[in-house]
Structure 1
Amino acid sequence: MNYYERAQELNEETIANRRYFHTNAEVGLDMPKAKAYVMKKLTEYGLEPKECGYGVTATLGHGGKCIMLRADMDALPMPEESGEPFACPTGKEAHACGHDFHAAMLLTAAKMLKENESELEGTVKFMFQPAEENFLGSKNMIENGILENPKVDAALAYHVAAGKMPVGIYMYNDNGTMMYSVDGFQIDIKGKGSHGAYPQNSIDPINIGVHVYLALEAIMAREVDPTKACVMTVGQFQGGTAENIIPDVATLKGTIRSNDKQARELMVRRMKEVATKTAESYGGTAEITMLSEVPPLICDPKLTDEFVGYMKEMNIPGMMPYPGISASASEDFASIAEKVPSTFMYLSAGYPDERGQYGAHNPKVQFNEGVCPIGPSCLAYCATQWLKNNK
């Protein structure tokens, strides 16, 4: 089968599926609409889908080695201002990261691989995953056996990229860290509340929180190796309900990111120590909760080069490789890549004109549907060729 030609024939269906996910955007682990839609479509295509944790999986093929193709499905908890006629109407969810494309493209890949099942020389497993944005989805599906029965030998995932880039660029990393680790944390500082006129009767958790924040900055300035890529961000600082009340509790939430294992371990350990000891020095206490613990995304070099070779074989017009990409953002596909040889690539879905002025996670971002035949055909062809050459 010529997968690219077939994907072009199925392009209207891919776009329709993408727009369904987009309009009916859902966030987090529990995505009943997306799950039901995926299971319905896979059943129509002749597969036998089943739930895997909060996600959906299905397999096809004939024993042998198993390659897994993964797509995340979740949106972001934000209003949409894209101006698209199929925008999510709720004002609370938006597919501003392109996961609607991923789910739609994997559905089309599944349809084509089912049509070509007799030619497959192994097994293809599909992973439709929720909750990538809060880094809970891969973990949930791993805990529920996505990498077993049959055991996964390799994995591949694509992510569309918005911005001022023409469709056809594919970005990868075959020799280093592609995306940073992310360790989300919550620091609950407990003090003693009082009237704002009598601060001497309080143990002010807001005051403690300020000093914790400044101490965290000192970790970055004086303890982290400056040759390593490291980021620590406190994005939430909440405490109090009125201007004349010193509260009992204040909360800081943030993330730690790095492309280096030792630097990551240092920052996480010192964040916990500094928060705890600083709170104690001011008479309070600090309780730390880890919200996410995702490793750096490091793709398997040999596997990545193999998939790049297959994509070049397809001779899709306008396709152009961009190697060595690295980003300080994070991706929970890293939890898969930590356990099995994996490849993750970006596919450009941008516009060179004014439509490309906004990037991912912006409420005005727009994605180019010209990428819709590329993703499914590359997924299907790479899976087919990998099974053929890795018996």
Structure 2
Amino acid sequence: MYSSIYTESTVMYNELIEWRRELHKIPELGLELPQTVSFVRKKLTEFGIPFETKVNGNCVIGYVGSGDRCLLLRADMDGLPMREESHLSFASQNGNMHACGHDIHTTALLGAAKILKKHEKELKGKIKLLFQPGEETFGGAQAVMSEGVLENPKVDSAFATHVASVIPVGTIAYGTLTAASIWGFKITITGKGTHGAMPQNGVDPINVGVHIYQALQELIARECAPDKEVTLTIGQFSSGTVGNIIPETAVLQGTLRTFNSEIKQYLITRINEIVKNISSAFHAESKIDTLTDTPVLCCDEKRNEEIVKALESMNPEFNIVSGLHITASDDFAIFANKIPSSYFVIGAKEDSDTIYAHHNPKVCFNEQVLPIETAAYACVAMDWE
């Protein structure tokens, strides 16, 4: 039924590659994406698609179609603060990297926008094209939500995709309990600085931090059943500037991911107890700040099956598999917590003996995914009613 949509996207292949590579060179962070937004605005203008901006101009929302009902298509745009080591000819040189494929998502939604504008009279409702900042920092969805992205017109359903560097091209995965919740936190330990030759005169926050780190790992190993799917990661531990000074402070930042709200609240309570008691035992002070709190990404089963039928009619050769259930997180869950939503992962594995996962400085994504993801966005919109 929608095979022509896939054909149109494959015809755009070289154009999609050009867009993707241009975006890949300029990854930007968080809620400040001026160059990326400029690129998106330029393309939407070329397509004749009206748009508005939110989040101080760092979010773009395009509009196609008309009608009483409205579907939101979301693509995230931000990168990561890491230096690229992919050795691609179009690798980023600005110290940041699109190590999670958001440049591909942005490109695919732009491609879908071009297709949908061509078929605008065939659409059965209003389509909002959301180019969202700040997914990596888990603040973008909430920021655009607070500025009314689900209103005027009221959004009835939402759809998003994510590419996967470890899944073969042509495979599309979906599920209901799709991605874990995430509680992001920052632990600040305050000790007493002193000369490194006289540690007895100070309170070493690094020592306190090491004990807290070990205790948090033991918390998962000894207080969480293996089948509860809980992940606690400390991704930053920073303190001090030179080797002969005991510093004043140490900072640990991490994430807690779960699929169960009761377990999540229990562990947050225990983390606070552990940090407080260990700090007290070593005569240090500490505080915990919540950096993000995003729910489990729960997708609507009925919408999922409708989308699967549409994608199968578009190209029966796609390998569409159910049961997607990952401990990664996505702030698209903010939307899914409000309206019926679907989140599909699309394979972008390179033809190589060495494959790297997301958030690795060497990760590469197979550009053959571009027409597939583009067609998926367009197909879902064409099928919406």
TM-score, length-scaled by structure 1: 0.92
> Is contact 1:76-1:94 (8 Å) kept?
yes
Q: 2:138 aligns with which of 135, 139, 149?
A: 135
Distance in 2, matches of 1:242 and 1:374, equals 51
Distance in 2, matches of 1:87 and 1:162, equals 17
Tell me by how many angstroms 1:21 deviates. 0.6
Q: Match of 2:174?
A: 172
- Asked if 1:112 corresponds to 2:115, the answer is yes
Question: Cα distance 1:202–1:134, how it changes in 2: closer, same or farther (>3 A)?
Answer: same
Tell me by how many angstroms 1:33 deviates. 0.6
SS at match of 2:27: coil
Moved more, 37-46 or 5-14: 5-14
Q: Match of 1:248?
A: 248
Sequence identity, in percent? 42
Distance in 2, matches of 1:61 and 1:362, equals 39
Q: Match of 2:357?
A: 359
- Asked if 1:157 corresponds to 2:164, the answer is no
Tell me by how many angstroms 1:320 deviates. 0.7
Tell me by how many angstroms 1:32 deviates. 0.4
Question: Cα distance 1:5–1:221, how it changes in 2: closer, same or farther (>3 A)?
Answer: closer
Moved more, 270-279 or 193-202: 193-202
Distance in 1, matches of 2:244 and 2:252, equals 21
- Asked if 1:56 corresponds to 2:60, the answer is yes
- Count matched residues: 381
- Asked if 1:320 corresponds to 2:319, the answer is yes
The code of the aligned residue for 1:350 comes to K
Q: Which portions of structure 1, spanning 4 or more consecutive aligned residues, are displaced by more than 4 angstroms? A: none
> Is contact 1:187-1:286 (8 Å) kept?
yes
Moved more, 114-123 or 215-224: 215-224
Distance in 2, matches of 1:22 and 1:69, equals 21
* Counterpart mapping for 1:223-234 below 5 A: 223-234=223-234
SS at match of 2:226: coil
Deviations 1:329-379 (A, max 9, x none): 11111111111111111111113443x622322222222221222112221
SS at match of 2:228: coil
* Counterpart mapping for 1:13-28 below 5 A: 13-28=15-30
> Is contact 1:82-1:365 (8 Å) kept?
yes
Q: Match of 1:211?
A: 211
Question: Cα distance 1:367–1:217, how it changes in 2: closer, same or farther (>3 A)?
Answer: closer
> Is contact 2:125-2:384 (8 Å) kept?
no
The code of the aligned residue for 1:85 comes to S
Q: 2:84 aligns with which of 80, 87, 100?
A: 80
> Is contact 1:239-1:249 (8 Å) kept?
yes
The code of the aligned residue for 1:107 comes to L
Q: Match of 1:261?
A: 261
Distance in 1, matches of 2:186 and 2:283, equals 19
Deviations 1:280-311 (A, max 9, x none): 23322211111221212121111111111111
Distance in 2, matches of 1:8 and 1:213, equals 49
SS at match of 2:62: strand
> Is contact 1:180-1:330 (8 Å) kept?
yes
Q: 2:126 aligns with which of 123, 127, 135?
A: 123
> Is contact 1:52-1:145 (8 Å) kept?
no
Q: Match of 2:31?
A: 29
Q: Match of 1:381?
A: 379
The code of the aligned residue for 1:364 comes to K
Tell me by how many angstroms 1:250 deviates. 1.5
Root-mean-square deviation (Å): 1.8
Deviations 1:185-212 (A, max 9, x none): 1111112222334333323322322222
Q: Match of 2:151?
A: 148
SS at match of 2:384: helix
> Is contact 2:112-2:375 (8 Å) kept?
yes
- Asked if 1:188 corresponds to 2:188, the answer is yes
Distance in 1, matches of 2:128 and 2:271, equals 39
> Is contact 1:74-1:131 (8 Å) kept?
yes
TM-score, length-scaled by structure 2: 0.94
Tell me by how many angstroms 1:112 deviates. 1.2
The code of the aligned residue for 1:188 comes to T
Question: Cα distance 1:211–1:320, how it changes in 2: closer, same or farther (>3 A)?
Answer: same
> Is contact 2:6-2:315 (8 Å) kept?
no
The code of the aligned residue for 2:137 comes to N
SS at match of 1:114: helix
Q: Match of 1:67?
A: 71
SS at match of 2:73: strand
SS at match of 1:340: coil
The code of the aligned residue for 2:313 comes to E
Q: Match of 1:44?
A: 46
SS at match of 1:369: coil
SS at match of 1:69: strand
Moved more, 141-150 or 243-252: 243-252
Question: Cα distance 1:78–1:148, how it changes in 2: closer, same or farther (>3 A)?
Answer: same
